[in-house]
Amino acid sequence: AQSVTQPDIHITVSEGASLELRCNYSYGATPYLFWYVQSPGQGLQLLLKYFSGDTLVQGIKGFEAEFKRSQSSFNLRKPSVHWSDAAEYFCAVGAPDTNAGKSTFGDGTTLTVKP
Amino acid sequence: ETGVTQSPTHLIKTRGQQVTLRCSSQSGHNTVSWYQQALGQGPQFIFQYYREEENGRGNFPPRFSGLQFPNYSSELNVNALELDDSALYLCASSPADITDTQYFGPGTRLTVL
């Protein structure tokens, strides 16, 4: 069975600083990987996804993530954080023989942005 | 293009009651997935419907059931509510393609007293 671990429950960064959110997954083969963002009172919005090919994936809002097979990781990065990035971030993994709707999610990382 | 909508926004029930939550999928999407998100946790996959048939189920008891209608809207029914059923219930729709993105609704917040 697939699983996702987000080791950091809460991260605080200053506005303009760089950001890296960690995600480790467990799956027997190359999985489908996703990062979502959830703002208070809102549903989840997809930031980016990895299915195959280039291991560095570009997403919306200036985010990127890198798939590292040897480390079973898919960390999310942003070079300069804006106050509007404060939200909860979820990493998710899906099996390649299913679709995105059957994903397994981590428990999330809450991002606080200091002015 | 209309996004995914869910109703109601909030709901309060008592233990043992039954509840029905509704989801309208995005135009052109024939797959709907339901998730339960308990406080402080990530969403957990409940089940998925594709063209009115259940297409996969997570680790949830049979008292969680669903329907998908010909217009691809969907219902989640929960019988014999328990306190632990209190959560945000999210619906997501997607085209059937295996790699496609799913689009989430804002969720229904269910409180069981």
Task: List pLDDT tens digits, range A8-66.
Answer: 999 999 999 999 999 999 987 788 999 999 998 778 999 999 988 899 999 999 999 99
Determine what percent of chain B falls in helix, strand and coil, rounding each to the nearest 5.
5, 50, 45
Q: Give the dihedral sign, CA B94/B55/B77/B89.
A: negative
Instruction: Indicate if the pLDDT at residue A73 is higher than 90.
Output: yes
Q: How large is the average pLDDT for residues A109-114?
A: 97
Q: Which of B100, B105, B107 is nearest residue A100 as measured by Cβ atoms?
A: B100
Find the residue in B nearest to A49 (Cα).
B101
Instruction: Indicate if the pLDDT at residue A99 is higher than 90.
Output: no
Query: Is the CB of B66 inside 8 Å of chain A's CB atoms?
Result: no
* Residue A42 pLDDT: 77
Q: Which of A32, A41, A106 is nearest residue B42 as measured by Cβ atoms?
A: A106
How many pairs of residues across A and B have Cβ atoms under 8 Å apart? 71
Query: Is the CB of B69 inside 8 Å of chain A's CB atoms?
Result: no
Contact A90 B43 (CB under 8 A): yes
Q: Which domains does chain A have, with CATH numbers?
A: 3-114 (2.60.40.10)
The stretches in chain B having pLDDT less than 50 are none
Find the residue in B nearest to A39 (Cα).
B106
* Residue A102 pLDDT: 82
* Residue B62 pLDDT: 96
* Residue B1 pLDDT: 55
Which chain B residues touch A92 with a CB distance below 8 Å?
A: 42
Find the residue in B nearest to A101 (Cα).
B33
HEC assignment per residue over B39-51 = CCCCCEEEEEEEC
Closest CA to A18 of A51, A64, A70, A53: A64
Q: How large is the average pLDDT for residues A58-77?
A: 96
* More confident of the two residues A47 and A100: A47
Find the residue in A nearest to B105 (Cα).
A43
* Residue A31 pLDDT: 87
Q: Give the dihedral sign, CA B94/B110/A45/A96.
A: negative
